[in-house]
């Protein structure tokens, strides 16, 4: 029985192109089969899209034939609605395996792999991944004693680095959405407005979408700290009112069909202190220097080095990376967990790579985030958003 998909994101041919790339990487890594637990990688290889990553699930890819989707039995219907494969390559385990300390779902997966004759080869697993536990690995070792396990963390992630034309279309739609989100913040935010009311406006704009293109849920909730909370990068929101004399930064993402376009902007009510004026100037100058290096043939570290050298010259220091790869993602992270703009990352930039350029500064009494999603082009780079740069100042 074929898939019953009603709204596929990609043609089957694109999935087969991805599988061909992945199999070449598998051959280079010396593995016969991979167990893919990362839901972003599962979706990229098969189209699977469901909020089921809180239980064990995987895509299994051998060197021939279609991939296999494996997961909780009740989610098999969701697989049939979203993946490109035939029904006989969808396997669901029964519900007594779910959150039961006396048995583990990987016992069932071991039987599936043995049934395909893949139990005696070199099997890749994503060892350093949010969704693959120590207990899962222990169960596989016990269930597949003849297998040799190999760490293939990142193997599929790296195949996702260069986006196809359709992927870039989705990211541009996501860019339109995050641009509208920032415009809505600038329009309605005012001193005294409870923070959660503003975040509700952000969510409404994000999900409503732009230009007839709907908004998907983000892999990370809005980061929206103010004042001293904004000295930290990853605080969210509460019911406190926006205040004059405080910075509030908004690290948010537009999302379409799971493709993310994150962007940050900072809001300030009143007359901005000289410290923040100087910091904004330094970030602007350092960003210009960095993005001059964001072109094919350069390395990730070239972007970071240009940014940090300029920033340091102007009296500021950033000790974290200033960017990372983005694309298709599921919670808890919208990064691809491959390349970063930082010293020592010698990955060569190529057309079609997409990044969140992240020149944030967290000072001792507030934070500034003015970030840009970019795509590397044949001749340089393209800013995916047209959001006005700089700090948004309102009286």
Under the banding of pLDDT at 50, 70 and 90, the label for residue 362 is confident
Domain 165-394 in the same topology as domain 12-159: no
Contact 156, 45 (CB under 8 A): yes
Collect all residues with Cβ–Cβ distance below 8 Å to 87 and sequence separation of at least 6: 1, 2, 3, 80
How much is the pLDDT for 208?
98
- What is the rounded average pLDDT of the residues 9-15? 96
CB atoms within 10 A of CB 85: 23
CA distances to 223, 329, 360 from 226, rounded to whole Å, are 10, 27, 14
Statement: residue 182 has pLDDT above 60: yes
Map tokens 């009296």 to a residue: 315
State the chain's maximal CA–CA distance in angstroms. Answer: 69
Domain at 165-394: CATH code: 3.90.230.10
How much is the pLDDT for 4?
62
| Residue 389 DSSP one-character state | P
What are the pLDDT digits (tens) for 256-315? 999 999 999 999 999 999 999 999 999 999 999 999 999 999 999 999 999 999 999 999
Strand duo 58-61 + 148-151: pairing? unpaired
How much is the pLDDT for 3?
53
- What is the rounded average pLDDT of the residues 349-358? 98
What are the pLDDT digits (tens) for 26-47? 999 999 999 999 999 999 999 9
Q: Mean pLDDT of all residues in the chain?
A: 96
* Distance in angstroms (rounded) separating the CA atoms of residues 53 and 37: 9
How much is the pLDDT for 236?
96
Of 21-35, 71-85, 357-371, the one with minimum mean pLDDT is 357-371
Contact 3, 85 (CB under 8 A): yes
Of 71-80, 227-236, 342-351, the one with minimum mean pLDDT is 227-236
CATH 3.40.350.10 fits 12-159, yes or no: yes
Statement: residue 123 has pLDDT above 80: yes
Residue 234, token pair as written in the block: 């990853």
Statement: residue 368 has pLDDT above 70: yes
* Distance in angstroms (rounded) separating the CA atoms of residues 280 and 77: 51
- Domain parsing of the chain, residue ranges: 12-159, 165-394
Statement: residue 1 has pLDDT above 60: no
Cis (ω within 30 of 0) for the bond into 281? no
Collect all residues with Cβ–Cβ distance below 8 Å to 229 and sequence separation of at least 6: 235
What are the pLDDT digits (tens) for 207-231? 999 999 999 999 999 999 999 999 9
How much is the pLDDT for 375?
98
- Sheet of 148-151, strand order: 90-93, 68-72, 58-61, 33-36, 122-125, 148-151
For the question of whether the overall pTM of this predicted structure is more than 0.85, the answer is yes
How much is the pLDDT for 151?
98
* Distance in angstroms (rounded) separating the CA atoms of residues 346 and 326: 18
């Amino acid at each position: 029985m074929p898939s019953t998909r009603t709204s596929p994101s990609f043609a089957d041919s694109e999935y087969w192109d991805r599988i061909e790339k992945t199999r070449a990487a598998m051959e280079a890594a010396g593995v016969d089969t991979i167990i893919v637990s990362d839901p972003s990688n599962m979706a990229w290889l098969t189209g699977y899209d469901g909020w089921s990553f809180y239980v064990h699930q995987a895509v299994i890819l051998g060197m021939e034939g279609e991939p296999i989707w494996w997961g909780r039995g009740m989610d098999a219907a969701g697989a049939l609605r979203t993946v490109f494969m035939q029904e006989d390559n969808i396997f669901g385990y029964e519900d007594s395996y779910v959150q039961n300390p006396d048995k583990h779902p990987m016992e069932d997966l071991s039987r599936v792999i043995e049934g395909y004759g893949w139990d005696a080869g070199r099997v890749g697993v994503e060892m350093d991944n949010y969704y693959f536990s120590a207990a899962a690995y222990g169960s596989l070792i016990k269930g597949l004693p003849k297998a040799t396990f190999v760490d293939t963390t990142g193997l599929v992630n790296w195949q996702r680095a260069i986006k196809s034309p359709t992927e870039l279309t989705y990211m541009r739609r996501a860019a339109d959405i995050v641009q509208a989100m920032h415009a809505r913040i600038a329009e309605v935010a005012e001193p005294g407005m409870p923070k959660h009311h503003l975040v509700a406006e952000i969510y409404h704009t994000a999900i409503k979408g732009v230009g007839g293109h709907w908004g998907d849920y983000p892999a990370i909730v809005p980061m929206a700290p103010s004042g001293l909370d904004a000295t930290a990068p990853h605080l969210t929101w509460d019911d406190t009112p926006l205040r004059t004399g405080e910075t509030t930064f908004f690290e948010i993402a537009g999302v379409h069909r799971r493709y993310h376009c994150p962007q940050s902007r900072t809001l300030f009510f009143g007359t901005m202190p000289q410290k923040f004026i100087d910091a904004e100037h330094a970030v602007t100058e350092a960003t210009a220097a960095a993005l001059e290096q964001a072109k094919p043939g350069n390395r990730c570290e070239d972007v970071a080095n240009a940014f940090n050298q300029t920033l340091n010259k102007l009296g500021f220091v950033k000790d974290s990376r200033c960017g990372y790869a983005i694309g298709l993602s599921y919670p808890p992270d919208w990064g691809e967990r491959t390349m970063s703009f930082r010293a020592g990352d010698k990955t060569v930039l190529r057309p079609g790579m997409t990044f969140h350029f992240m020149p944030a500064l967290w000072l001792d009494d507030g934070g500034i985030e003015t970030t840009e999603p970019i795509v590397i082009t044949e001749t340089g780079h393209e800013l995916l958003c047209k959001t006005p740069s700089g700090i948004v100042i309102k009286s």
